[in-house]
Structure 1
Amino acid sequence: MYRVLIVDDEPEIRQGLRLKIDAGKLGLELAGEASNGVEALERLEDEAYDIVITDMNMPVMDGVSFLEACRERHPDIRLVVITGYEDFQYARAALRHQASDYLLKPVAADELADVLSKVTGELDGERQETAREERTRWELSQYYKEMKEHFVVRLIKGEVDREAAALERARRFGLDAWSEAEVRFLTVGLRERAPANRQPAQAEVDGATIGGNPDRSPDQFRLPLELICRERALESGGACEAFRDAGYPGLVHFATVESEAWLGDFAAQLAEQTAALLGFELAVGIGRPAIGFKQWKEGYLSSLLAWNLSGSGLHEEDRRSPAGRTAMTGEELKVIERYLERGEPEAFERAIRLPLDEAFAASQAGFVKVIFQLYLQLESQANESGIALDHAEQLWLRPEMALALDTADKARVFLTRIAEKVALQHRHEAEESDHALIDAVLRFIDENYMTDLNLTDLAERFNYNPSYFSEMFKSKVGKTFIQYVTDARMAQAIRLLEGTQLSLWDIAELTGFSNASYFSSKFKRTYGVTPSDYRQRASATGKIDSELPKK
């Protein structure tokens, strides 16, 4: 309902106007009266009104002065002016001050109803437009956040195809300055630990539940923890970015270009807030700084490793270790990764034997650290291959289980068992390599249609010759690479046209087209209608036809 203020110096005229207005039918509330301009301005200061019906010939403050003051102080209010035949100069003043309409005395009920109906229609239109703008801002903000987080996750997974393309995407999300800065990662999560005075039994290593009240498990508080973390990141004013990695559903991660001291304070405050709100102790891990997008994966993995070691005392012991092996080198990890990709568990076992023996001889902290480094490498390969690890194999869920691997042989057996699982899957994939490859390519396109995709880069990513890759893609999928990418983008564009009020520029950017003009011409060539016509048809019918426009 719209609130109406009636302003006239004669009480009987105010009462007459009330009687002539069918407030319920017009969606109005006759909320107040005033006898002159000064009184009316006081009412407008104290209460919210949408429409003012005012006489022009009044004492104290005449209608012209009132219109001037009202337009200056309350520009959004609709003004309806009432004047006599002899007051034509008042009518001109009303128009000068952008009154919605004016009526000549005596006022007829139907004329007043027509004017008020027109005014309420204008207000309805403005409210709908404001609501559309707010919805568009919200939708664009949500899509922006999702795409930004998707981009960050690709970087920490090491999925940087071209440096220039990554930098361009980073610029869109305001992260271009991060490409050459020291970026630190923080990993946090709620974790149950075994009591400090006992080590986990072998049964626990094999999968039994460790400690804690089964009715109050950290898993039940994943969503509240995520909400707290995202709110804290938002409050940081852009100093850090919060994100989730689907491979670690119980954890939340942060990336920042702030100092290690700043990140430590941030983590301490977050832990304090989490304890107060959820009643759980928060385990945290701060990784080593990474410079350049290609180093983000290493920085992220180091935060996962620090999280796994947190609270055990091993992290500090590792720092104090004066000599001996305390970690795998980057080159060693790359060699092991190649063995896993080729499905060679025997080579994997030989490669980890010496690092485990040396780390075991050096210190417990270094030994556990090497175990986790190797485990994270295995888990990454398992996730990429779609392998679900058993509970007993999910070392990150129960980091204290690593303490039960108290000899190099036990650790080697545990890790090699997972490697054999990964190798078996890789051998299976090799038997159906082309089909598996195409499935992986299609998944990649469907997940990254909004980015700059081209056949050469994708062929290189999946280790194929571009010409062979192009022919194989068309043979297996039934359409060319360009056609498939375009169809994937168009399918998402249709969803956005049907379900949002986003502009064509926004939709073009969100679906990977270079600009709105190219998107519109491509859409029309594909479906025979422009995006705007398609949206208007959808709006007119209230729903979208079950079939898309014919290609």
Structure 2
Amino acid sequence: MYRLLIVDDEPEIRQGLRLKMDMDGLGIALAGEASNGMEALSLLENGDIEIVLTDMNMPLMGGVRFMEVCRERYPNVRVIVITGYEDFQYARAALRFQASEYLLKPVARDELNSVLKNVTAELNREREKAELEAKTQWELSQYYREMKEQFILRLVRWESGPESVVTDRARKFGLGGWEERRVRFMTLGLKVRDILHGTDRAPDQFLLPLEMISREKADNAAGTCECFRDGHYPGLIHVVTTESVEWLFSFGDHLRSEVKRMLDFELDFGIGQPVTGFKAWKDGYLSSLVAWNYTDSRLPAESLPQSTDKTAISADEIKVIERYLAKGEYAAFEQAVRPILQQAFTGPVASRVKIIFQLYLALESAASDLLVTIESAEQLWIRPELAYSLDSVDKAYSFLAGIARNIVRQREEGAEAADVNLIESVRRYIDDHYATDLNLSDMAARFNYHPSYFSELFKKRVGRTFIQYLTDVRMTQAIRLLEETQLSLWDIAELTGFSNASYFSSKFKKVYGVSPSDYRERLPEKIDSEEPKK
């Protein structure tokens, strides 16, 4: 519904215009009437008005001056000039101040409604365009946020890639300079004991509000704080920031009070040790998980790993352990894990706890990749005090080996569906990481298969080769960005995983038969098929 103002010094003329207009049919409501330009400006100032019908020859402030002021103050208002004079001066003023229409009195009903129909149609188009632009900007911001979160997750999961690539991507995602800055991680979650005992409300229903509250607070930190989720811990929210530990405590206390006020749940948060350099982010992230696990557990403070503790499992050792689990090689798992535990128990409690948590996180990661579950009784994030109670190598190994046995057992029981689960995991990984440098050999190694067998299995289950599927996923995202944004081809190429704009353009033309630029120009013509050629 658009609001319209009639401006004419003769009441009978204003009444005649009102009666001639098909307001209901045009979607117009009368906002008011004015007898001169000064009255009209007062009404415009106090009301939301989109259309003005104005006479030109009026006392106090005539149409020419009114149009001049209106154009300056309210450039989006559509002005329709109605006058009884075929005066070149008035026509020229209407053109100069970009009037939508110029009509002569007496105005016929059909002519008036036709003009108003054209004006409302133009307003409709502009409104739709504005809504589409707002929607596009929102979707692009969501897309950008998801890509940034995937990048952060790769940093904290030992998957960051070559240093030059990491530095470049960090700059693209607004994290330029974070490599040299000291950061801390914070892990947030609803109080576990309140979830397990004393409430019949499903906490999962409150995770989205918790995430929204956390993101809003992080967004207010002016580029010094990033909020992200990790699929391995669906009930937790994570934050990384360059701010001080005092700022983080204030951040956590504010969130705690907001969650209590809005959701009536208690919030726990754990703050990790400070780290510097992207390669150390995984340790900072781990320390925040450990800190959150120990929140409210009444364990001695000296049991928490400190930043000075250098004992840790290497990324290569973690990958080997995960590979043994993926292959169901339990004996090899024992040979790999027991020496690590024996070494850990020669050091302080902090080192032992850190190693146990690292091994547990490796088990969780393997279980997630294999689409199997870890029983709640075995989950350290539900029973954080358990890590401290594992005070011997045998106890620690028995706990971890029990989880490993369950993973292997579930894998073997689902042997018939193992290949299907594997390919589903691969597809999910590609869908999440298509913007990164992916290749068949690395993917085969990641999922513990020989490249040749992996290639054959993928094609058999998906119906397309690995490269075809990866290209299809990337092209689907490229189409989306071409249609919904005005990003350059360089930006689109980078956001969709192509090495450069030139290669992206040639690949796009090979798949769709037109260049990306031509595709974007021909969008209204509806290109025959938006499905990539097989």
TM over 0.5: yes
The residue that corresponds to 1:123 in the other structure is 123
Residues 474 and 481, structure 1, Cα contact 8 Å, conserved in 2:
no
Q: CA deviation at 1:304?
A: 0.8
Residues 273 and 287, structure 2, Cα contact 8 Å, conserved in 1:
yes
Q: Which moved more, 1:280-289 or 1:520-529?
A: 520-529
Can you list the C-alpha shifts for 1:524-546, whole angstroms capped at 9, x where unaligned?
4323466348743559xxxx98x
In 1, Cα distance between equivalents of 2:23 and 2:439? 62
In 1, Cα distance between equivalents of 2:107 and 2:314? 91
Structure 2 CA distance for partners of 1:224 and 1:285, relative to 1, 3 Å: same
Structure 2 CA distance for partners of 1:68 and 1:260, relative to 1, 3 Å: same
The residue that corresponds to 1:47 in the other structure is 47
Structure 2 CA distance for partners of 1:338 and 1:121, relative to 1, 3 Å: closer
The residue that corresponds to 1:223 in the other structure is 208
In 1, Cα distance between equivalents of 2:322 and 2:503? 43
The amino acid that maps onto 2:254 is Q
Residues 165 and 452, structure 1, Cα contact 8 Å, conserved in 2:
no
Structure 2 CA distance for partners of 1:34 and 1:294, relative to 1, 3 Å: same
In 1, Cα distance between equivalents of 2:314 and 2:496? 40
Structure 2 CA distance for partners of 1:414 and 1:511, relative to 1, 3 Å: same
Q: CA deviation at 1:287?
A: 1.5
Q: 1:354 aligns with which of 331, 342, 360?
A: 342
1:314 partner SS: coil
The residue that corresponds to 2:33 in the other structure is 33
Q: CA deviation at 1:237?
A: 2.6
Residues 158 and 296, structure 1, Cα contact 8 Å, conserved in 2:
no
Q: CA deviation at 1:493?
A: 4.4
Structure 2 CA distance for partners of 1:460 and 1:56, relative to 1, 3 Å: same
Residues 440 and 455, structure 2, Cα contact 8 Å, conserved in 1:
no
Q: CA deviation at 1:502?
A: 3.3
Q: 2:197 aligns with which of 212, 220, 233?
A: 212
The residue that corresponds to 2:367 in the other structure is 382
Q: CA deviation at 1:412?
A: 2.8
In 2, Cα distance between equivalents of 1:396 and 1:450? 31
Residues 313 and 355, structure 2, Cα contact 8 Å, conserved in 1:
no
Q: CA deviation at 1:140?
A: 0.8
Higher RCO (C-alpha under 8 Å, 6+ residues apart): 1
Q: Which moved more, 1:221-230 or 1:512-521?
A: 512-521
Structure 2 CA distance for partners of 1:458 and 1:58, relative to 1, 3 Å: same
Q: CA deviation at 1:413?
A: 1.5
- Given the two structures, how large is their TM-score scaled by the length of structure 1? 0.81
What is the Cα-based RMSD across aligned positions, in Å? 3.9
2:177 partner SS: helix
Is the aligned partner of 1:111 residue 2:106? Answer: no
Residues 312 and 355, structure 2, Cα contact 8 Å, conserved in 1:
no
Structure 2 CA distance for partners of 1:459 and 1:193, relative to 1, 3 Å: closer
Q: CA deviation at 1:212?
A: 1.7
2:192 partner SS: coil
In 2, Cα distance between equivalents of 1:277 and 1:251? 18
Can you list the C-alpha shifts for 1:284-304, whole angstroms capped at 9, x where unaligned?
221222322222212111111
Q: 1:394 aligns with which of 379, 387, 392?
A: 379
Q: Which moved more, 1:276-285 or 1:387-396?
A: 276-285
The residue that corresponds to 1:531 in the other structure is 519
Residues 135 and 501, structure 1, Cα contact 8 Å, conserved in 2:
no
Instruction: Report the count of equivalent residues.
Output: 519
Structure 2 CA distance for partners of 1:537 and 1:518, relative to 1, 3 Å: farther
Residues 192 and 218, structure 1, Cα contact 8 Å, conserved in 2:
no
Q: CA deviation at 1:384?
A: 3.5
The residue that corresponds to 1:338 in the other structure is 320
- For residues 153-302 of structure 1, the aligned pairs below 5 Å read 153-193=153-193, 212-216=197-201, 218-302=203-287
In 2, Cα distance between equivalents of 1:89 and 1:402? 88
Q: Which moved more, 1:419-428 or 1:268-277?
A: 419-428
Q: CA deviation at 1:6?
A: 1.2
Q: Which moved more, 1:446-455 or 1:51-60?
A: 446-455
The residue that corresponds to 1:487 in the other structure is 472
The amino acid that maps onto 1:222 is L
In 1, Cα distance between equivalents of 2:20 and 2:467? 66
Is the aligned partner of 1:5 residue 2:8? Answer: no
In 1, Cα distance between equivalents of 2:278 and 2:193? 34
The amino acid that maps onto 2:291 is A
Q: CA deviation at 1:29?
A: 1.7
Residues 188 and 270, structure 2, Cα contact 8 Å, conserved in 1:
yes
Q: Which moved more, 1:221-230 or 1:42-51?
A: 221-230
Can you list the C-alpha shifts for 1:371-412, whole angstroms capped at 9, x where unaligned?
434323333333344332122211212223445546553333
Structure 2 CA distance for partners of 1:441 and 1:110, relative to 1, 3 Å: closer
Can you list the C-alpha shifts for 1:146-204, whole angstroms capped at 9, x where unaligned?
1111221122111112222222222221012212222211112123349xxxxxxxxxx
The amino acid that maps onto 1:10 is E
The residue that corresponds to 1:410 in the other structure is 395
Structure 2 CA distance for partners of 1:300 and 1:13, relative to 1, 3 Å: same
1:248 partner SS: coil
Structure 2 CA distance for partners of 1:187 and 1:315, relative to 1, 3 Å: farther
Residues 192 and 398, structure 1, Cα contact 8 Å, conserved in 2:
no
Residues 180 and 291, structure 1, Cα contact 8 Å, conserved in 2:
yes
The residue that corresponds to 1:199 in the other structure is none
In 2, Cα distance between equivalents of 1:150 and 1:320? 27
1:280 partner SS: coil
The amino acid that maps onto 1:390 is E
Gaps of 5+ in 1: 195-209
- For residues 76-115 of structure 1, the aligned pairs below 5 Å read 76-85=76-85, 87-115=87-115
In 2, Cα distance between equivalents of 1:503 and 1:297? 35
In 2, Cα distance between equivalents of 1:96 and 1:381? 70
Structure 2 CA distance for partners of 1:81 and 1:340, relative to 1, 3 Å: closer
In 1, Cα distance between equivalents of 2:89 and 2:321? 92
1:285 partner SS: strand
Q: Which moved more, 1:72-81 or 1:337-346?
A: 337-346
The amino acid that maps onto 2:342 is L
2:484 partner SS: coil
2:373 partner SS: coil
The residue that corresponds to 1:501 in the other structure is 484
The residue that corresponds to 1:16 in the other structure is 16
1:330 partner SS: coil
Residues 520 and 531, structure 1, Cα contact 8 Å, conserved in 2:
no
In 1, Cα distance between equivalents of 2:128 and 2:265? 45
Q: Which moved more, 1:378-387 or 1:518-527?
A: 518-527
- For residues 66-77 of structure 1, the aligned pairs below 5 Å read 66-77=66-77
- For residues 413-492 of structure 1, the aligned pairs below 5 Å read 413-421=398-406, 442-454=427-439, 469=451, 473=455, 477=459, 481-492=466-477
1:261 partner SS: helix
